[in-house]
Amino acid sequence: MGYGGGMGWGGWLGMGLLWLLLLGVILFLVVRLLPGAGQGGSRQGVSGGPAAESPEEILDRRFARGEIDIETYQAQRAALAEVRGRK
């Protein structure tokens, strides 16, 4: 007796394409909806949030808050400028 001819190669091919399409849609949604996913090194987040701070901006902020004194600030700014000039 048996169970008939089964799906055949067309059915298997269709099922495989359906799974590939489903996985592609899931991957697309994950990349689009997760913050920071798929940005490729962009400095701005998906939501348009603030960009990452540069070393100079961090140094300026620390000086403005009074975390470092003027001598330290000037020495570190000069060191950053020297390193940036070498690249």
Domain segments of the chain: what residues? 9-33+53-86
pTM as predicted: 0.41
- Under a CB-based contact definition with an 8 Å cutoff, are residues 73 and 59 in contact? yes
Angle (deg, nearest 10), helices 55-65 and 70-86: 180
The confidence score (pLDDT) of residue 7 equals 78
Higher pLDDT, 84 or 74: 74
Mean pLDDT over the full length of the chain? 82
Tell me the torsion sign for CA atoms 68, 76, 60, 37.
negative
What is the percent of the chain with per-residue pLDDT over 90, rounded to a whole number? Answer: 47
pLDDT of 83 over the 60 cut: yes
* pLDDT tens track for 36-51: 655 555 555 445 556 7
